[in-house]
Structures are given as C-alpha cells and as structure tokens.
Structure 1
Amino acid sequence: MKKVVIIGGGIAGMTAGVLLQKAGFATEIYEKNALPGGQCTGWKREGYFIDNCIHWLTGTRSGSALHELWKEIGALGDSVEIHKKEMFFSSKLDGQTLTFWRDKERTQKEMLELSPEDEKEINKLIKYVSMAESMTVPIEKPFDAMNLIDFMKLGMSMKSMRKVMKEYGNIDINELAMRFKHPLIRRAIIDYMPSGYQAYAFLVSYGTVTGENGDIPKGGSLAMSLRIAERYKEYGGVIHTNTSVKTVLIDDKKAKGIMLENGDKIEADYVICACDTDYTFRKLLPEKYMPEGLKKMYADRAKYPVSSGFQIAYAVDGVFPELTGTRVFSCDEINIGSQTVKCMSVQSYDYEPDFAPKGKMILQTNFSQTEADYKYWENIYTDKIVYEKKKTEIAEQALKRVVKEYPFLEGKIHVIDVWSPMTYTRYCNSYRGAYMSFVTTKQAKSITVPGVVKGIDNVFLASQWLMGPGGLPTAAAMGKFAAWRIMKRK
C-alpha cells in the first residue's frame, strides 16, 4: 500500500486525504494547529462562538459536481441542515437603504424605486446576475489534464458566464459602481468588495446567492471542518494535530518523506503540500522549485494583490431582527492599519442559535485590509504590547460607531475578540495575512497553476493559491486534483 503524507489539515489537505483513503492509499495528515480545518474554523469567547470563515458556501445547490464532492468528503449530506440566506447584504447612506436580496426581482424592484434614472443599468445588472448563476467550479480533473472535448463541455456548461465576462470582465468594481447615477447604489457596490476586484466577481458572488447555490451549512465553519475530518478518519486516515513540519526531504529529485520540527523523519511514497504556497516554497521546499505562474504573481504585487481583514466580534444582550444579515453603513472616520475608513459593517449570526447564549446574539465587523495595511500590522506586531493596545483602541472606536448607528444597543453590546491580518499569518502561515488567493485585477491575466512541482517527481500541491479567487471551493478542487494525480499513478 502506497503511503501519502499530507502537509496541512485544511480543506484542501483533508479533501485529498478522504479521496486517497477511499482509493486504497495509506495517508497521514500533519497539521500545525490543535484542530483541523485551516482557516475554515472558529472559536469560543465568553460563551459565544466566533465563526471565522463561511459567509456562504458555494456548492450547496444539489446537482453540481461541487455539491457531490462536498457530500463525498462529509461537508454536506442529508443529515446536514442548510440555512438559506435571504439577503446578500444591505447598504445604508443618508437615511436610505438598499438591500441585495436572495430574490433578485425584489432587489430589482427596490433599486428601480430608489433610482428610476438608473433603470437601464439596473435591469442589465440583474439580467447578468441571472447569467452568473451558471458559474461553476470545474472539479472533474486538473486543467492541464483536460483535452479539447473536456474544454468544450466546460464551455457549454458555462455558456452564459462567457457573456458575463464579455460585459463585466474588463472593468473593476469601482468602474461598475460608476455606471450608476444614484450615490447609494454606487456606495453599496464599492463597499462590499475590496478595491481592485474585477466587476464580474460581484455578479458571481451575488449570483451564487440568488441561484440558491450559496447557503450556509448547519454549525458553520468549524463544524463543517470537523465533519470532513471525521469522514477522513472513518476511511482510516490519521491526522496528527499540533505537529509542525520542518521540511520535505528530497534525494535525487524525489521526495523521501518529511522532517517534523522535532526532528522526526516520516517516510512516504508521495507528499502533498496542502498549505500556503509562499510558505511551501520559503520553508518546505527550495524556492527554485516554485512554479512559474506563482513566481509571476508573487513578483507583481500591483497586478496580483491580496487582501485581508481587521475583525471584531461583539456580544449582544438581546436578539434584534433589525440586525439580521450583513449591513453596511457610513460612520465617523476611523484609522485602521494604513487607511482611514468612513463606513463599516456588522454581520449577524442569528441564523445559528448555538453561536450565542439563549436570548443573546453575536455580531462581527470586518474592515478590509490591503497589503499596505498588512505591513503596518507587521511592523507593530514586533511589540506585542503596542499591538494589543492598538487593536483594543480600534475596537473601542468601532463599538462607539455601531452604537451610534444602532442606539438601541447602548449598554447591551461589548467587544469579545479582535483579530488582525497578523492572526492569519500566525495561525495559517498566510501570505501577508490573506484569507483568499490573489485578486486578479483587470490589468492582469488570470493564472491557474498546475499542482505539480517540476523537478520533484512525487510532490504535489493542493492549495487555494493555485487558482483565483481561492476560497473553500478552490481548496476542495485543488485537494481533489492532487489526489487525482496520485491515483493516476497507482
């Protein structure tokens, strides 16, 4: 029986592990943290549960290959309840509110009532959102292994998506917003996604929700990760938690196994690096082995930026329906990282009663952070006292702004946790604190990196960083592709 060692117990690593165990391989996962899941995780504070990852899970609609993969690895299943998102988000400006509903016709009506002068662009946007609902994550086999017929089938399955790309693929999120005359519509679009994102990403994200393909599995992020880990163990897989890997052992252009941080050597027939690719080629493997596509994206920081977040969790004494969903609003200026922001958001997790004690609720705020912001946090992180003081200071300012927007929360809300881009670097070795892959800007060509390491015959990559925009579906796909490559050699 061939042995496969998997470095990283996130979604990619566990997906590869489940599929390889099913195929008759002996696998072991080595995870640096106490729990599997990587960034798909959460934690408790003061009796509340803070969910770090899932705002919606692409692939919750049955019938797609991605949905079947989620079921196969245990993320979804007949016994897993699904919370259906009724709204994408809402944005408020100067007393007016615009909500992007699951029901896109309701959104269209609300937008037209708000801004009749934008009728042409509104109708076009909703029309193309409908087309974007056809977007799927190709997971049958790696792109570099696809033949002409495979590509033709993929193209036919996303015929409508090609029209979306033609119309919105060459403009960014700011240019999309400027197609509208009404300031609230502009603000809503700009505020939801970090600057630099291509416009089609907004339509795809919204289309995932309107197409009933972006809902939330019961228990949220950590519960999903633990279900996958349990499925992996049921097939005989072994997860070593709290176990860091020092390096991949290479001899004559072939990996012999890995060395742990404690010096132990683990032999293997194959090695899968299922972690941050920057970390992979800075520590686990010599940088000379980095694929050319990755080198290009890491080298061009302007065309392939990454984003992160400065986040705050609040405990609320009471349950308030008017806070349901994700709500964006203007606020007094606040300095966060290297930038000054004038708006913020609160997201409610009231759809998951177990996330808060009975009669209470939890809210979270996420301020988008750029690479310049990351450098700010990296600099002050060298002095932990200064770092913690700055986090607390910002959280207190943000709390005041939440209460100003929602006066009924006065005396009923307090901060229970704060985390910065440095948290993702510390916990997941994330490149510049990013929790997704590279942002493909309109000036850059999208690059999909094959999960092979040229020069080392038996090492494979399984990471969200191999294909934009990253995230959980990409991680699962890359895990499947790594398993597919190994199974082809059996």
Structure 2
Amino acid sequence: MSKKVLIIGAGLAGISTGIYLQKQGIQTEIFEISGQAGGMCIAWERRGYRFDGCIHWMVGTKAGTPFYNLYREVHALEEDTVIYNARSIKTEFDGITYEIPMTLKPFKNFLISVSPEDSAKIEALCAEIETMITTNMPAGRPTGFLELLDILKNSRGFLNLARKYVGIHMRDYVEALKNSTLKSILYYLMPPQYSFFGLIMMLGTRMCGNAGYPLGGAHDVINRMEGYYRELGGNIHFSSKVDKIVLEDGKAAALESGGRLYQADAIVAACDMYDVLKNMLGGRFAHKQLDPLLESAELFPPITVASFGLNKKFNLPFSHNFECPEGIKIDSEKVSHYLNIRSFEFDPSSAPENCSSVMVVLESTLEYWQALRRENPENYRTRKEELAREVISALDKRIPGFKDAVEVTDIATPATYIRYANLYRGSWEGFAPTPSSFKYSIKKKIAGIDGLFLCGQWTTVGGGICTAVESGKEASRAAAKYLK
C-alpha cells in the first residue's frame, strides 16, 4: 500500500514538496487556506489587466545555474520562458533623478561620478560584487560527495562572501562613506539594518542576469507548477484551513480540516510557522530557533499594494522611486514620502495591447487595516478608494496624463494578505535579512514530533522564491527518508 503525505499550503514550497514526492511514487494531498494556489506567489487579474503581487526579481533565472536547474525540475520555468533583466532603475533624492545601472562597470562608474571621494571603497565594493557574479549560489545542502565537490569548486566565492559579510549591517559599510548622496543611493538599494551581504548578493545576481523577471510573472510560474503537480497525480483541497495536526505516539498522524480528519503517514507544513506552532499544535511544542525569531526578529513589514491598469504606455522603467514631499497618508500611523512605482510595460501578458499595468508598494500598519475591515467594511472600502485617488493624484503630478489613463484600480491591504495567505503579523516575506536573524540556522523539524517536516519562507531568513522552492525539495527528501 502506497504511503501518503499531507502537505499544508499550496505555495511555492508546498507544491514543490508535492512534485518531488509524487515523482518518487509517494501519494500527496495539499490543503490550501485560500481558493487558489500560490500563497504569496500570487497575481490577480482585473478586466484584462494582471497585477503581480510577488516577483520583484527572481534569483536563479540564468540558464545553467543551480537554482535555474531547480526551477526547471518543478516547471517554475521552462526552457522557452523569456526573462526580462532591467538595465537600470531610477530613484530621486533632493529633487534629482538618478538612474542606477544594473550592470557592473556602468554601476561602478555611476557611483564614482556621484562620489569621487569614495572611489576606493566603491572599487572594493564592486570587486566583491564581481566575485558574486562569477560564483554559483548553491541550491541547498549537498546530498552526496559529488554535490559537495561541486559546491566547493563552483560556490567557493559565494561561501566566502557570506562568511565575510553576513554579520555586518549595511550601516556599518555605508556610514564609513563620505558622500551623503551615495549613502542615500545605497540605503535605497538595501535598508541600513539589513545585512551588507544582502546588497552584494542582490546586485551580483541581478548584474549577471541571474535575478530577472520571467514574462508571465507569478501567475505563470505558479500555474506551471500546479499543472505539473496535477499531472503527477497530486490533489489540492482549496479553501481548506487546517485547524489541527493530530499526533499519535509522538508521530504526526492526521490533519483536521473543516471538521474532518485526514490520515497521513507523514505531514509537511509549508505554511505560516506561527500558525503551526501556536494553533495547529496548540502551543505544546517549543522550537529552538523559530520561537525567538517569531517573538522578536524583524520581519518584512506589512504592505499595501496599489495597482493600476492604464490605457496607454508611458515608457516607464521597471522601477522608479519618486520623492513625495507632500506625503501620502497610508493609514492612521503611516505617511509615505516616497512612491516606488513598478511598471510591467515589458510584459505583454500584464495588460491588453498598447496598454500597461503599474503597481505602487506602500509600507502599512496591519492593525489599522484589519480593524477597519472587521469593524466597518463600508469604511474599509471607502478608505481604499480614497487611497487610490491620492496615489493617482500624486503620480499624475510626476507622470503627466497618468490620471486620465487609469482604467482599472485595485488596492490590496495587509488585511487582504492576511485573508488570502494567513501571514503572521502581515509579513509578506517572513524574517528580514538582518545580521542577528542570520545567526539562526532554522531546523526543519520540531523536537518531540516524528513525521512532521517544515519548509517555506518562514524556515529561511530572508525569504525568497528560490529558497522556498529549495526548502520544498529538502522537505520531500526528509519525508521520503522517514517513510522508507
């Protein structure tokens, strides 16, 4: 009789787990809280316009690299998937627009033109980025001697950079610079409290074409993966919140969802870890790394996403960060003085012909939006409409004709993300990549429970698409080994 593994969550990690287990002949079923697959790898369509709520850049898009090969295994990418790599991004400081190149030599020349007095430190930074460009990011831990040799041969530069910089804050590097504009540019690229290694990794992967945007975005990535999982015989239960993980003799034996019990030989939790520990397991089990991280680690902040379908194209760059001195009131606590607009003009699937879609991401307050939606749904809808008008008005001052071009408006608040993806504290990508959080190597099991395996963005500091998929593969290996 074939073994069965039940998986909680149909996001990148959960579907990846299912794919690898189905390939091994192990039957799986996935329980997903929302009505569609994807988790935070999500896009939504409104009257022919598609808005991508996930992918800013996707590490591992360069053919032949370890993560690219991983994506191909789960059909996140296909051989003919077109990858868009932005050549530059724009930002404003003190009324001046700066175009930041996303290739190494122009990037170095640009920084030196901004701050000749910091040229020595800029040269040193770019040398480290070049090391990142010429090395491979390993896609997970080696499972054998040959994989270990490959990592030692091809990923040595990455490992050395991580060892050297993962414990250093951005501010430790930036505050040693002399030029204030250069400091602002680098803080725009990576916040001061994050690890300096994050900047080097992000720029290195983007500058060599290994962190691009796959045309079709999150919509096509997750559709390909879901389709492949179903081809392999997998099954997904949508709108199926898991209320309890049932244990028998210290083993994960069943799930309770919608008042029913579903028996399992093993369980993989590819979902919110707070929900797993505090709700599904009733707070009865400690986790040495997750407990302190969930208690006090910095998280990626809750966001509101304002999306607009435009009946024309404005020749906008992929990312443009506008100053907004007048400020936009997001909620009772947050006022934004910047508008970061992302344009998808390069992707034909994002809008009807000769049209375009754009998004503005705004840091928000979870409690405000949750309370407003819960206590007064009508005021919640009204406030979303007001916010949309304020963002449109601000953008129209900077992009003449923007207001008249808007055909479709959509506002997704932190309450929206909670409703669809059950995110702890509304965090869209889990634990932020700070030096203090990077000290934790999160174990993918819970002491005292056999047959329960953890994966997903809450099991890797910094989150990300590549690590979510890889963690699903790792969970499948652990579950398959347990079932032998």
- SS of 1:327's partner is strand
Q: Does 1:360 align with 2:363?
A: no
Distance 1:424 1:250 in 2: 30
- Post-superposition Cα deviations, 1:237-291, rounded to whole Å, max 9, x if no partner, equal 1122222222122222122221211x22211111111111111122222322242
- Find 2:309's aligned residue among 315, 339, 353: 315
How far does the alpha carbon of each residue in 1:33-88 deviate from its partner, in whole angstroms, 9 at most, with x for none? 2221111111112321111111111111122332211111111122322223323x
* 2:471 is equivalent to residue 478 of structure 1: yes
- Report % sequence identity: 26
Going from structure 1 to structure 2, the CA distance change for 1:177 and 1:99 (only over 3 Å counts) comes to farther
Mean CA deviation greater in 424-433 or 450-459: 450-459
Aligned to 1:120: 120
1:43 corresponds in structure 2 to 44
From the superposition, tell whether residues 351 and 51 of structure 1 become closer, same or farther in structure 2 (CA, over 3 Å). Answer: same
Give the match for residue 22 of structure 1.
23
- The one-letter code of the counterpart of 2:240 is T
Q: Is 222-231 or 166-175 further displaced after alignment? A: 166-175
What is aligned with 1:56? Answer: 57
AA at the equivalent of 1:41: I
Alpha-carbon offset, residue 482 of structure 1: 0.9
Q: List aligned pairs for 1:459-474, cutoff 5 A.
A: 459-474=452-467
Aligned equivalents of 2:280, 2:208: Cα separation in 1:
40
Determine if the alignment matches structure 1 residue 98 to structure 2 residue 90.
no
| 1:276-291 correspondence runs (5 A) | 276-291=272-287
Q: Residue 409 of structure 1: which of 376, 399, 402 is its match? A: 402
Equivalent in the alignment of 1:204: 201
Q: CA deviation at 1:199?
A: 2.3
Which residue does the alignment assign to 2:267?
271
Q: Residues 170 and 258 (structure 1 numbering): CA distance in 2 closer, same or farther, change over 3 Å? A: closer
Q: Which residue of 1 aligns with 2:368?
A: 376
1:418 and 2:411 aligned: yes
Task: Note if contact 2:215-2:349 (Cα within 8 Å) is conserved in structure 1.
Answer: no
Cα separation, 1, equivalents of 2:84 and 2:209? 11
What is the aligned partner in structure 2 of residue 242 from structure 1?
Answer: 239
SS of 2:71 mapped into structure 1? helix
Work out the CA distance in 2 between the residues paired with 1:221 and 1:450: 28
How many residues align? The count is 478
CA gap of 1:172–1:393, structure 2 versus 1, over 3 A, is farther
Kept in 1, the 8 Å contact 2:31–2:236? The answer is yes
Give the secondary structure class of the aligned counterpart of 2:389: helix
Provide, for residues 201-260 of structure 1, a one-character-per-residue CA deviation record: whole Å limited to 9, x for no partner: 122112111121111223110211010111111111112222222212222212222121
Asked if 2 retains the 8 angstrom alpha-carbon contact of 1:312 and 1:418, the reply is yes
Pick aligned residue for 1:431 from 401, 408, 424: 424
| Structure 1 range deviating more: 89-98 or 31-40 | 89-98
**Ranges of 4+ aligned residues in structure 1 off by more than 6 Å:** 149-153
In the alignment, is the contact (CA less than 8 A) between 1:138 and 1:154 conserved in 2? no
Instruction: Quote the residue 2:389 is aligned against.
Output: 396
- Shift of the 178–379 alpha-carbon distance from structure 1 to 2, 3 Å rule, reads farther
Offset, 1:413: 3.2
Asked if the contact 1:65/1:140 (under 8 Å) is kept, the reply is: no
Q: 1:308 to 1:202 in 2, by over 3 A?
A: farther
| Inter-partner Cα distance in structure 2 for 1:308 and 1:488 | 37
- Alpha-carbon distance in structure 2 between the residues aligned to 1:203 and 1:403: 35
User: Within 1, Cα distance between the matches of 2:3 and 2:49?
Assistant: 43
User: Which secondary structure does the structure 2 equivalent of 1:184 belong to?
Assistant: helix
Paired residues for 1:437-448 under 5 Å: 437-448=430-441
Q: Is the 8 A contact 1:194 1:368 kept in 2?
A: no
Q: State the one-letter code of the partner of 1:114.
A: V
The answer for the alignment partner of 2:296 in structure 1 is 300
Q: Find the counterpart in structure 2 of residue 225 from structure 1.
A: 222
CA distance in 1, matches of 2:457, 2:481: 22
Q: CA deviation at 1:297?
A: 0.7
SS of aligned partner of 1:130: helix
Check 1:49–1:312 CA distance in 2 against 1; reply closer, same or farther (3 A cut). same
Give the unaligned 5+ runs of structure 2.
Answer: none
TM-score relative to the length of structure 2 = 0.91
The one-letter code matched in structure 1 to 2:119 is E
Deviations, residues 69-123 of structure 1 (Å, cap 9, x unaligned) = 1111111122322223323x22122443333323221122222223322322322
CA positional deviation for 1:414: 6.0
Residue segments in structure 1 that go unaligned for 5+ positions in a row = none
Find the aligned partners of 2:207 and 2:295 in 1 and give their Cα distance.
Answer: 37
Aligned partner letter, 2:345: D
Query: Quick one: which of 327, 330, 340 aligns to 1:333?
Result: 327
Deviation of 1:334 (Å): 2.4
What is the alpha-carbon distance in structure 2 between the residues aligned to residue 174 and residue 375 of structure 1?
30
What is aligned with 2:69? 68
Distance 1:33 1:444 in 2: 29
Q: Deviations over 1:397-428 (max 9, x none)?
A: 22222111222435223661111222221111
Q: 1:419 to 1:292 in 2, by over 3 A?
A: same
- Contact 2:250–2:450, Cα closer than 8 Å, also in 1: yes
Q: What is the alpha-carbon distance in structure 1 between the residues aligned to residue 212 and residue 433 of structure 2? A: 25
Structure 1 residue 5 corresponds to structure 2 residue 6:
yes
Letter in 2 for 1:113: S
What secondary structure is seen at the aligned counterpart in 1 of 2:51? strand
Which AA in structure 1 matches 2:170? I
Distance 1:248 1:146, change over 3 A: farther
Counterpart for residue 339 of structure 2: 344
Equivalent position amino acid for 1:266 in 2: Y
Q: Deviations over 1:449-484 (max 9, x none)?
A: 121122221111122111111121111111111100
Alignment of 1:80-229 (within 5 A): 80-87=81-88, 89-133=89-133, 134=135, 136-140=137-141, 154=151, 157-165=154-162, 168-194=165-191, 196-229=193-226
2:254 pairs with 1:257: yes
